[in-house]
Amino acid sequence: MSYVVKEIFYTLQGEGRNAGRPAVFCRFSGCNLWTGREVDRAKAICQFCDTDFVGVGSDGGRFESPDALADAVLARWPGVRYGRADGGRPLVVCTGGEPLLQLDVAAIDALHARGFQVAVETNGTRHAPAGIDHLCVSPKAGAEWVQRHGSELKVVWPQAGLDLDMLEQADFTYRYLQPMDGPLQARHIAQCIEQCLARPAWRLSLQTHKVTGIR
């Protein structure tokens, strides 16, 4: 198996359960819900994407083996080594695009072998491989939703066609509503707050990387 990766970089996770936690982001190229080209956005299943996942960036690459991919991720983690599994363990966030088009058990094993906890951010259209330590699923209206259990359900809100009663039935440890970005963001934040107050099963997730200006 080879892997095509847009970019690999060290940052703080911006959103959801691990917000604020240092992590290596491994952004896989490609998505099954949009080509990533603006000319195709209006006819895409997912039309609100804010991420460039097309091709291979200057800090991405094509990796011919799980070990090559995991070595590239490890190279981005600062030289500190932690001996305790108390939250100081290195974290990699596999994202995209849609990471589950490429991420497999062999890559997860190779990342584990280098000491990483493996987090994944997926749109839920593919079943997740075994071994993921933190699985965040963000279903999209109009798309198939097959991965209905995991660590974190993160719903970009509002999305016409998604129903919170239905979403709440799925088996997740944490549930987040994250305001959709764009010109109506202030209204969307208010709507998310209103829903979280009315439905205590949900928490508010803000995109702190946009507030702080970090990558």
The set of catalytic residues is 25, 31, 46, 49-51, 121, 209
In angstroms, what is the minimal distance from the CB of 84 to ligand SF4? 34
Which is closer to ligand SF4, CB of 46 or CB of 108? 46
Which is closer to ligand SF4, CB of 46 or CB of 73? 46
Task: Supply the DSSP symbol for 105.
Answer: H
d(CA 122, CA 128): 9
Which is closer to ligand SF4, CB of 90 or CB of 158? 158
Which is closer to ligand SF4, CB of 89 or CB of 210? 210
**Residues making contact with ligand SF4 (CB under 6 A):** 31, 33-34, 46, 49, 51, 53, 96-98, 123, 140
Torsion-angle region of 148 (φ positive above 0: left; ψ -120 to 50: alpha; else: beta): alpha
d(CA 164, CA 184): 20
Q: Which residues contact 145 (CB under 8 A, 6 or more apart)?
A: 124, 125, 139
d(CA 137, CA 121): 6
In angstroms, what is the minimal distance from the CB of 175 to ligand SF4? 18
In angstroms, what is the minimal distance from the CB of 110 to ligand SF4? 23
In angstroms, what is the minimal distance from the CB of 114 to ligand SF4? 26
Going edge to edge, which strands form the sheet with 134-137? 61-63, 3-12, 22-28, 91-95, 117-122, 134-137, 149-157, 171-179, 203-204
Which H helix or E strand runs over 171? strand 171-179
